[in-house]
Amino acid sequence: MNGAESLVRTLVGAGVDTCFANPGTSEMHFVSALDRVDGMRSILVLHETVATGAADGYWRMADRPAANLLHLGPGLANGLSNIHNARKAASGMLNIIGEHASWHLKYDAPLASDIEGIARPLSDWVKTSLGSQAIGADAAQAVIEARQSRIASLILPGDTAWEEGGAVADALAMPTVAGFDEKSIEAAVRALRSGESTMLIIGGRAIRGKALEIAGRIAGKTGAVLATQFFSSRIERGAGRVPTFRIPYFVDSALGALKDFKHIVTIETKEPVSFFAYPNKPSQIKAEGTQVHQVCNPGGDGLAALEALAEAVGAKASDAPHQERTETALPSGALNQQTIAHILSALIPENAIVVDESVTTGRESFGLTAGAAPHDWLQNMGGSIGFGLPVATGAAIGAPGRRVISLSGDGCAMYTLQSLWTQAREGLDVTTLVFSNRAYQILRVEFAGVGAGAPGEKASAMMTLDNPPLDFLALARGLGVPGTRVSDCGELIAALKRVLRQPGPHLIDVTL
Amino acid sequence: MNGAESLVRTLVGAGVDTCFANPGTSEMHFVSALDRVDGMRSILVLHETVATGAADGYWRMADRPAANLLHLGPGLANGLSNIHNARKAASGMLNIIGEHASWHLKYDAPLASDIEGIARPLSDWVKTSLGSQAIGADAAQAVIEARQSRIASLILPGDTAWEEGGAVADALAMPTVAGFDEKSIEAAVRALRSGESTMLIIGGRAIRGKALEIAGRIAGKTGAVLATQFFSSRIERGAGRVPTFRIPYFVDSALGALKDFKHIVTIETKEPVSFFAYPNKPSQIKAEGTQVHQVCNPGGDGLAALEALAEAVGAKASDAPHQERTETALPSGALNQQTIAHILSALIPENAIVVDESVTTGRESFGLTAGAAPHDWLQNMGGSIGFGLPVATGAAIGAPGRRVISLSGDGCAMYTLQSLWTQAREGLDVTTLVFSNRAYQILRVEFAGVGAGAPGEKASAMMTLDNPPLDFLALARGLGVPGTRVSDCGELIAALKRVLRQPGPHLIDVTL
C-alpha cells in the first residue's frame, strides 16, 4: 500500500474518522485512499478557514480531534486564523498539509513555500513526513498530539503519499495528563476556607458535567463566586445546571466586578486579562493585592483538581446551587439586545448548542439565557472573527442529533460565509441568526476606548457595512441554504418556532 | 502628533496613497489619522485576503505599492495566501499589522500571537516598530522595501500608534536595481548569434512596453522564439504588440514544446519548471543538454538587459514582429473552451485588463485572444486559488478608467467572493465571468496525472461542487453586484456587449 493509504488507515485506527478537506493536486493520493478505506468521513469545504473552524467545533463537542486536509502552504495559511482560535480554546486538531514531492522543492515552483515555517507559529507540533514507510508512525504520533489539546501539523510530501511501502501504525496510548499543581491546591484550599472573598474561575472541560457540578458544590460550601472568563470554549448551562458568573468584557466593568476579591482560584484557565490594551488601563483584571492560585492549566485535569478541592473543603452534593428555569415572557416590538436575548431564552431548545459570535448585538444574550432550557454555549477564545459559522458547522458534525444555533454579527458572517454551503451539503441542523446592523459596531465602541475620540467621515467609513447593503437571504440562497428575514420580535419568534423544528440549515437575517 | 499619524503622513509623502483595510481595535489610531491626513484612500474589504490580493493587482497596474491595514496575527494570516501569490509575481506591498501595546503582550490575551513568526515565511522584510518616534522612519524603510518588489511587513504596536512624539520621515531614495549579469549576457549573445535554436523567455516588466518591443526585435533579428512562462504577472498583448509563445502547463506538452532548443535565455524570470511534481516526470522543463542563460533575475532591470542584448546582436526597430488584429467570427451554440475564447477575442475592449483565474474553462482563452484588441493579461504566479477577484479589484483601482475583465472558475470565486462587495462599494468597472462547471475540474485531470487512477465515489465527491449548486447571481446580488446568467454563446455575447459598456461591477454566471 502507498503512504497515503497507510496514513488514512492509521488515522481511522486511532479513532480519527472525520476529515474536513479542500484538497488539491498534492493531496490526490490521500483523496484516492478514501475510496479504499472505510471509516473516514471526508467533508468538503469551499475555503480552508471553514475546515479549521469546523475541526475546532468538532473537538469541542466530540472531545476528539478531526483531521483537516489542506493544500500546501497557502491552503494552511488560509486556515490559520481559525487554528489560532482553536489553539486559544485548547482544541486539538490534526492538520495534514500536502507538499510537493521532495525532489521538486528546490525548483521553487509556484506553490512552493516554507510550510513548516507557516505552520510553526500556530502549531504545537510540526513534522514533515519523509517517506512512505514513515507516514503511518508519524500520523499515530500526530493523533496523540492532537488528542492532548494540541495543534498538530503533519506535512505530507507527494512522494511520501504515492510511493509504496506504507505501514499502518497502531494507535498510541494516551500519556497521563498532568493533573494539577499540589502546592497551588493547598493555597487554594486555604483561600477557600479563609472566609475571605474568593472567585473560582473555571475553564476548558471544567465547565461541564461532573466537574461543573463539583465546582458548584465548592462554591456553595465556601461562598466563593463561581465564574467563567468572558470567553470560554464550551459551557454547559441553563435550567438544572450549576450557574456561573461571567467576567465582563470591558476593562472598567471587569475591574469593578473583581475589585473585592482577595483570592482568585483558576481551574483549566489562567487569571483574567484584558482582551485588548488601552492607554492608561491595566492588562490584568484584578484588584491590587488579589492573590491568584492557578491550580490547573488549560488542558489539565480540572475534574481531578476540583475533586481534590471539594474533598479538602468538605463540599457535598447538596451544596451545589442549580439554576431554575426562567419562564421568559416573549417580547414584542423592536429587536434590540434585550428583546433578542429574551426570545432566545424562551426558545432555545433543550440540549441545543449555541455558537456565539454575535459581538455587540449578542451582548445581553448570554446573561439573559442563564435560565433557558439546558444547552451548551461555545465562545471564541482567540478573537479572530469568522469563528462562528465554521465552528457551528463542526459542532453539528461532532454532536449529531443536536440542534445548533449559530449567532453571528454581519461582519463576522462575511468572513466565513462559505460554511453555509457545507451545512447544506451535509444536511446539518444549524440555525444561523445573522444580526444585520450594517457595521463593525464593536469598533465604534473601541474607537473611543483606545482614546481616538470620535470618528470622522473617513474613519467612520472603515466601520460601516451599509454601502452596499449585504443581502444575507440572497447570500444564503446562493449557498444552498434557505432563509427568512425578520425585523421585529414577532417575526423573529415566528421564524424560530418554525425553523428550529425543521431539519437542515436555515439562515435568519435579523435586521436591526 | 502620535505615531499613527506620523505613519500615515510618511506613507503619503512617500507616494503610498492607497490602503486596503480591515481594521480592528488595535488599528483604530491609524484609522483615526485618516481623518486628519489628506491623500490616503482607504478601501474597506470584508476579509483580508481581498486586501492582499488587491494590493497585488494594484502593484501590477500602478507599478507602486499599496498598503494593507491588517488586524494582528490572525488578520495577517487571513491575507497570507494572496501575499504568497503576490510574492511569486514579484509584486511589492506594504503590510501594516496592528499589535497589542507592548506591555500587554506578556499576558497572552486572546488575539496575541507571534506576528513576526507568521509574517516571516512570506515576507522579505519584517519589523516591529518600537515606539512612536521610530514608526515614521520604519515606514519610510518599509516603503522602499516594497518599491523593490518585496513584501514588507511592518508591525505597529498600540502604544507605538497612540503615543505622542511621532516624526514624519522623508521618503528614501530608491536604491539602484541590479541590472543584469554581464557574464550571462555574453553567453546569451553567443547563443543568439550561434544559429542554434534559442528560446528567449521574458517575465516581470519585460513583457511590457519598450522592453517587450525590444525583445521582439531580438527575436526577429536572431530567429529566437520569444516566450513567456505559463503564468506571468502582466503581459501587454493583442493587436499591434509583439506576440509571445506561452510555455504549456502540462509537463509532457511543455517538454515537447521545448525539446528542440539548444539555449534558453531568461529575462526577469527563471528557467521553466513543472507546476506540480508527478511520479516519473522531471521537474525541469527542458531537453537534456539545453543550456540556460539567466541574464536577469525577477525584479531586475529587464529593459536594460534587453537593450544590451539588442545592441549586441544588432537588432533594429524594424526587426520586431507585431501581432495583427484577428477578426474573430462570433460563434453560436454551446459554450465551451473554444467558443468562450472566440467570444473574448472578439469583444475584449481596447486597453482592457484581463485577470485570469479561469483554470480549465479558460485553457483556450489566452491562445485564442492573441489577436484581440490590445489589452493586458494578468495571471496567478503563486497557484493559490482565490487570486482572481481580489487582483481584479486592485487592478481597477490601480488603473482607473480601464475596464477589468475578471475570469474565474467557480471554485476559485468561492474563495474570495467578498471582493465583489468592495467592487460595488468603490464603483469599479470590473466585469466578472464565473465559469460554473460545478467542479474543481482541474483536479479530475490532476488525479490521473499523479497516478491515482480513476476517482471512485468518495474521491469524486471531493472535486464536485454541485451539491448544493452555487447560485452566483444570488451571491452577487447579496454583495451588491448585479448579475446575468448565460448558458449559450448568444447569451454570453449579448451580456458582454451590454455590460462592458456599463459603469460599475457586474457578474456573468457562465453556466456550462
pLDDT at residue B54 in the model: 99
Structure letter (DSSP) for residue B401: T
Please state, in angstroms and rounded to a whole number, the distance separating the CA atoms of residues B113 and A44.
Answer: 29
CB contact under 8 A, A478 and B474: yes
pLDDT at residue B328 in the model: 84
Average of per-residue pLDDT across B352-358: 98
**Count of CB pairs separated by less than 8 Å, A with B:** 324
Residue of B nearest to A40 (CA): B458
Which residues does residue B70 pair with via DSSP β-bridges, in sequence order?
B97
CB contact under 8 A, B443 and A110: no
Residue-wise pLDDT tens digits, A403-459: 999 999 999 999 999 999 999 999 999 999 999 999 999 999 899 999 999 999 999
| Chain B residues closer than 8 Å to A459 by CB | 28, 31-32, 34-35
Q: Is residue A267 scored above 90 in pLDDT?
A: yes
pLDDT at residue A343 in the model: 98
Instruction: Return the C-alpha torsion angle B247, B253, B257, B259, nearest 10.
Output: 120
Residue-wise pLDDT tens digits, B287-333: 999 999 999 999 889 999 999 999 999 999 999 999 999 988 999 99
Interface test with B, best of A233, A479, A507 (most B CBs within 10 A): A479
Residue-wise pLDDT tens digits, A54-83: 999 999 999 999 999 999 999 999 999 999
Q: Is residue B178 scored above 80 in pLDDT?
A: no
pLDDT at residue A385 in the model: 97
pLDDT at residue B440 in the model: 93
Instruction: Band the pLDDT of A184: cuts 50, 70, 90.
Output: confident
Q: Is residue B417 scored above 90 in pLDDT?
A: yes
| Chain A residues closer than 8 Å to B121 by CB | 73, 113-114, 117-118
pLDDT at residue A302 in the model: 95
H or E element, residue A367: helix A365-368
In words, the CATH class of domain A337-511 is alpha beta
Please state, in angstroms and rounded to a whole number, the distance separating the CA atoms of residues A135 and A118.
Answer: 20
Termini Cα distance of chain B: 57
Residue-wise pLDDT tens digits, B208-258: 999 999 999 999 999 999 999 999 999 999 999 999 999 999 999 999 999
Please state, in angstroms and rounded to a whole number, the distance separating the CA atoms of residues B71 and B77.
Answer: 9
Please state, in angstroms and rounded to a whole number, the distance separating the CA atoms of residues B226 and B202.
Answer: 8
Query: Helix-strand-coil percent breakdown of chain A, rounded to 5?
Result: 40, 20, 40
A181-190, B315-324, B443-452: which has the highest mean pLDDT? B315-324
CB contact under 8 A, B121 and A122: no
Residue of A nearest to B26 (CA): A276
Mean pLDDT of chain A: 97
Residue-wise pLDDT tens digits, B40-79: 999 999 999 999 999 999 999 999 999 999 999 999 999 9
B184 touches B295 (CB < 8 A): yes
pLDDT at residue B179 in the model: 77
Residue of A nearest to B44 (CA): A462
The CATH architecture annotation of domain B182-319 reads 3-Layer(aba) Sandwich (3.40)
The percent of residues above 90 in pLDDT, for chain B, comes to 96
| Chain A residues closer than 8 Å to B434 by CB | none
| Chain B residues closer than 8 Å to A453 by CB | 32
Q: How far apart, in Å, are the Cα atoms of A125 and each of A94, A169, A171? A: 10, 19, 17
Instruction: Band the pLDDT of A155: cuts 50, 70, 90.
Output: very high
Q: Which range (A440-454, B333-347, B392-406) has the least confidence?
A: A440-454
CB contact under 8 A, B279 and A159: yes
- Spell out the alpha helix ranges (H) of A163-230: 182-193, 209-222
**Strands A235-237 and B506-511: what pairing?**
unpaired
Residue-wise pLDDT tens digits, A309-338: 999 999 999 999 999 999 889 999 999 999
B79 touches B51 (CB < 8 A): yes
Average of per-residue pLDDT across A186-205: 97
Q: What's the gap between Cα B443 and its chain centre? A: 22
Instruction: Band the pLDDT of A299: cuts 50, 70, 90.
Output: confident
How many CB atoms within 10 Å of residue A99?
28
Backbone angles phi, psi at A159, to 5 degrees: -70, -35
**Strands B198-202 and B235-237: what pairing?**
unpaired
Predicted TM-score (pTM) of this structure: 0.98
Instruction: Band the pLDDT of A178: cuts 50, 70, 90.
Output: confident
Tell me the shortest Cα–Cα distance from A469 to chain B, in angstroms. 7
Average of per-residue pLDDT across A357-371: 95
Residue of B nearest to A445 (CA): B25
What is A3-162's CATH number, 3.30.420.40, 3.30.2350.10, 3.40.50.970, 1.10.3720.10? 3.40.50.970
Q: Is residue A179 scored above 80 in pLDDT?
A: no
Among candidates B382, B446, B464 on the partner chain, residue whose Cβ is nearest the Cβ of A25: B446
Q: Is residue B177 scored above 80 in pLDDT?
A: no
CB contact under 8 A, A107 and B452: no
Q: Is residue A108 scored above 90 in pLDDT?
A: yes
Residue-wise pLDDT tens digits, B117-167: 999 999 999 999 999 999 999 999 999 999 999 999 999 999 999 999 999
- Measuring CA to CA, which residue among B366, B443, B438 is closest to residue B405? B366
Average of per-residue pLDDT across B328-343: 96
CA-derived radius of gyration, chain A? 24
The 10 Å CB-count burial string (b at 16+, else e) for A320-355 is: beebeeeebeebeeebebebbbbbbbbbbbeebbbb
Residue-wise pLDDT tens digits, A30-45: 999 999 999 999 999 9
pLDDT at residue B251 in the model: 95
- Measuring CA to CA, which residue among A14, A297, A313 is closest to residue A139? A14
- Measuring CA to CA, which residue among B422, B429, B410 is closest to residue B479? B422
Residue-wise pLDDT tens digits, B21-38: 999 999 999 999 999 999
Residue-wise pLDDT tens digits, B69-84: 999 999 999 999 999 9
CB contact under 8 A, A84 and B78: no
- Residue A482 amino acid letter: P
| Chain B residues closer than 8 Å to A32 by CB | 447, 452-453, 455-456, 459
CB contact under 8 A, B74 and A88: no
Domain with CATH 3.40.50.970 in chain B: 3-162, 337-511
CB contact under 8 A, A49 and B78: yes
- Measuring CA to CA, which residue among B249, B274, B252, B267 is closest to residue B199? B267
Please state, in angstroms and rounded to a whole number, the distance separating the CA atoms of residues B419 and B404.
Answer: 14
Instruction: Band the pLDDT of B108: cuts 50, 70, 90.
Output: very high
The percent of residues above 90 in pLDDT, for chain A, comes to 96
A92 touches A147 (CB < 8 A): yes
Tell me the shortest Cα–Cα distance from B32 to chain A, in angstroms. 6
Listed in sequence order, the residues at least 6 apart from A113 whose beta carbon sits closer than 8 Å to its beta carbon are A72, A73, A74, B84, B121, B122
Tell me the shortest Cα–Cα distance from A7 to chain B, in angstroms. 15
CB contact under 8 A, B480 and A468: yes
Instruction: Band the pLDDT of A480: cuts 50, 70, 90.
Output: very high
| Chain B residues closer than 8 Å to A504 by CB | none
| Chain B residues closer than 8 Å to A158 by CB | 276-277, 450
DSSP, residue by residue, A5-39: HHHHHHHHHTT--EEEE---GGGHHHHHHHHH-TT
